[in-house]
Structure 1
Amino acid sequence: MTLEIDQENKDEFWLRANGSNLCFTIVEFALITGLKCNGNEEDFAVDATSNNRLLVDYFYGGKNVKKEHLIKCFDDKRWESSDEDAVKVSILYFIHNFIFSQQNDVPIPIRDFVIVDNGTYEQFLWESCHSNP
């Protein structure tokens, strides 16, 4: 079950939490999350066959990592002694548990691992793809 409420206005992001409806504009979304909300998604195209380091080190090189695998990695703190990897896994966890909040069996795009690992996630237009990551 997701927290997002379906609605027509593409400039608003609605959530239902604790019995209340919350509405965020794209500007508010960007301020709260610190993530960019506009731009060209094609600038972040990645090769789906790439061997991303995060995928190799924490998801056994998986090409079909589901949200439930990310949750398990986060809960188990698999990154061991790497603070940098702890931050990267935490960023992915935040994006896929709070921004997208999709079902646990939904696969996470390889693009997300690549752009979090290389740091370009800060420039990625998250809001425009939140309904279809």
Structure 2
Amino acid sequence: MRRYWNRSLDGGCKEITVRKKKKRKKTSHSVWSKFLSLRRKLIRSIAGIRLQIVRLNERIHALQEQVNGLQGGASPGSSVSAFLRGRLNSRITVETTAGTIFGTLIAIGEDYVQIAEPNGSIVIIPLRSFLSIA
């Protein structure tokens, strides 16, 4: 309890007591309300992720169509196979993702080539691994 002095114009002083204001209790969030809040945030996050996935799938589809357009419907190794048919049984050097291979081109398959190295070993190389041919 606080005490105040009332000073009025007539010069008399009276003691006035006033009760202290009650403080509002802060409402503590119950576990249930916290759970519901987290659930709403999670649902919003999942919706955002789904939207991103849809956009990425659209982008992938567009890029795939561009690649198919550049290939012209032909298989990826057809131009390489056509080039190598003219060099059958001749010496070539192939740069691959695994390294450089030198030898005689002895066979051409649908998606691979066979090269006989100078030491007598035969190497089978998938066309998708080719980086350059010399």
Higher strand share: 2
Same-fold status (TM-score > 0.5): no
Q: Which TM bucket (shorter chain)? A: under 0.3
From the CA coordinates, give the structure whose radius of gyration is larger.
Answer: 2
Scaled by the length of structure 1, the TM-score of the pair is 0.20
Scaled by the length of structure 2, the TM-score of the pair is 0.20
Higher helix share: 1
